[in-house]
């Protein structure tokens, strides 16, 4: 195991892991600093509204992504030395996303103008759609498929530094709660334009004219990955929306603060699975080495979570003195979720995928979504819906996915399941 890990550190995989850490580290330093700033300026209620706009946008973002970041990996890996083939994949993906953006725009606007809570803050939610379009148009998925995470890190560092810094000077009180979304949108579009420019220079990528047959072909081939991702989003992103609509914006704000802290760690661990490990595993296809890396990642993840949990009793009161007591238990519960979610993700497309079990990943994701939905229905009926109980439903969902994936891996290794 030690020799494999030593080789990994000095390899392209090691470079991509380091780049991923740099990328996500900087990406979440700003939000970590912004949370107490927002609470002290726009207040917890308006911060909850901002969180709702991002949460709603994340659902549409998941639809626009359509699983392309996973399904395109194999195509890009095979076309690594062929600029024309890469251009074909990139153009097809762009026009497929454009089709979905156009198709769903009226639905989004209907929600904004007919749901009272959204209508009250319509400027914020309309800006949120521009943020979603800018985010989904980014070519970061291409650099990940090319195992060029250094490029993504460079783009993100530069853009976030210049696009988000003005927030600290513009936002002064609760009437300025729309401005953060203005700068989030500016960040998204700046990163997107820069990613296309670098892709053109580095890989010779061009945007071809729309081809409907290619668009529908890509939508069809990526559909299984979309199903998996959309069901995953049901139990990953629903908490803030459900609490916001049922318990109020302030409760949604408290949930989002704890969730942001959770995401600060999750964004280190989970993107390694889809952005680094999955492309790498797809290329090497060495089961023994993959198993060693997964076990090492799980052990390291557990040690880090225990350390962070203990340290939270110090840093939460330090950074969030006014709400530390309200978010301590939710934050610890989120860490427990991560102890299950990281192994579950590693056993998903990276492990089951190379074993030919893509449909089984989708099946376990659907199962987890059903567990989460049933859990929420139960706590709502019993009138015990709160931040901690919503997180417990998330924990149950991830546990169900982990158990299901482990079960299928055991069956495949015993050859009781024959994969296509």
Write the pLDDT tens digit of every residue in 245-285.
777 777 888 888 887 777 777 666 665 555 566 666 766 76
pLDDT of residue 345: 85
pLDDT of residue 420: 40
pLDDT of residue 108: 95
Token readout for 396 is 């149950």
pLDDT of residue 275: 55
Contact status, residue 122 vs residue 112, Cβ threshold 8 Å: yes
Contact status, residue 52 vs residue 244, Cβ threshold 8 Å: yes
**What is the spatial distance between Cα 387 and Cα 53, in angstroms, rounded to a whole number?**
19
**What is the spatial distance between Cα 9 and Cα 21, in angstroms, rounded to a whole number?**
13
pLDDT of residue 407: 92
Residues with Cβ < 8 Å from 65, sequence gap 6 or more?
97, 136, 226, 229
pLDDT of residue 9: 46
pLDDT of residue 52: 87
Q: At what angle do helices 122-136 and 83-114 cross, to 10 degrees?
A: 170
Token readout for 153 is 């890190």
pLDDT of residue 129: 95
pLDDT of residue 277: 67
Which stretches in the chain have pLDDT values below 70? 1-32, 149-154, 235-236, 266-280, 282-283, 285, 416-420
Contact status, residue 167 vs residue 179, Cβ threshold 8 Å: yes
pLDDT of residue 100: 95
In this prediction the pTM is: 0.74
What b-and-e string marks burial along 271-293, b requiring 16 or more CB atoms within 10 Å of the CB?
Answer: bbbbbbbbbbbbeeeeeebbebb
Contact status, residue 164 vs residue 200, Cβ threshold 8 Å: no
**For the chain, what is the mean pLDDT?**
82
- List the end-to-end C-alpha distance of the chain, in Å, as a whole number: 31
pLDDT of residue 419: 44
pLDDT of residue 211: 87
pLDDT of residue 418: 43
Neighbours of 385 (CB within 10 A): 18
**What is the spatial distance between Cα 82 and Cα 240, in angstroms, rounded to a whole number?**
43
Residues with Cβ < 8 Å from 72, sequence gap 6 or more?
89, 93, 141, 142, 145, 222
pLDDT of residue 20: 55
């Amino acid at each position: 195991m030690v020799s494999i890990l030593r080789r990994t550190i000095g390899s392209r995989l090691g470079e991509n892991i380091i780049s991923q850490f740099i990328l996500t580290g900087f990406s979440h330093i700003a939000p970590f600093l912004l949370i107490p700033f927002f609470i002290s300026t726009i207040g917890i209620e308006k911060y909850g509204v901002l969180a709702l706009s991002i949460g709603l946008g994340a659902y549409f973002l998941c639809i626009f992504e359509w699983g392309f970041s996973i399904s395109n990996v194999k195509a890009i890996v095979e076309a690594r030395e062929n600029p024309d083939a890469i251009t074909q994949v990139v153009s097809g993906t762009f026009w497929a996303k454009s089709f979905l953006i156009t198709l769903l725009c009226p639905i989004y606007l209907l929600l904004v103008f007919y749901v009272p809570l959204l209508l009250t803050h319509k400027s914020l939610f309309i800006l949120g759609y521009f943020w979603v379009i800018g985010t989904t148009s980014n070519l970061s998925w291409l650099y990940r498929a090319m195992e060029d995470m250094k490029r993504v890190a460079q783009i993100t560092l530069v853009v976030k530094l210049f696009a988000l810094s003005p927030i600290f000077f513009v936002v002064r009180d609760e009437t300025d709660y729309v401005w953060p979304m203005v700068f989030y949108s500016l960040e998204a579009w700046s990163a997107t334009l820069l990613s296309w420019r670098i892709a053109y220079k580095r890989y010779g990528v061009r945007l071809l004219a729309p081809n409907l047959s290619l668009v529908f072909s890509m939508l069809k081939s990526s559909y299984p990955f979309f199903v998996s991702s959309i069901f995953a989003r049901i139990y990953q992103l629903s908490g803030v929306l459900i609490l916001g609509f049922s318990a109020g914006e302030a409760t949604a704000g408290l949930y989002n603060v704890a969730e942001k802290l959770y995401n600060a760690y999750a964004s280190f661990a989970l993107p390694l699975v889809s952005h680094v490990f999955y492309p790498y595993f797809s290329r090497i296809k060495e089961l023994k080495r993959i198993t060693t890396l997964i076990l090492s990642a799980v052990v390291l993840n557990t040690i880090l979570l225990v350390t962070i949990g203990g340290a939270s009793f110090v840093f939460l009161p330090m950074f969030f003195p006014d709400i530390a007591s309200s978010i301590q238990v939710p934050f610890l519960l989120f860490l427990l979720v991560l102890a299950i979610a990281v192994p579950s993700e590693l056993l998903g497309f990276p492990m089951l995928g190379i074993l030919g079990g893509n449909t089984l990943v989708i099946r376990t994701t659907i199962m987890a979504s059903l567990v989460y939905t049933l859990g929420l229905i139960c706590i709502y009926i019993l009138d015990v819906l709160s931040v901690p109980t919503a997180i417990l439903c998330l924990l149950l969902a991830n546990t169900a996915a982990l158990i299901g994936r482990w079960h299928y891996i055991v069956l495949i290794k015993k050859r009781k399941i024959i994969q296509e």
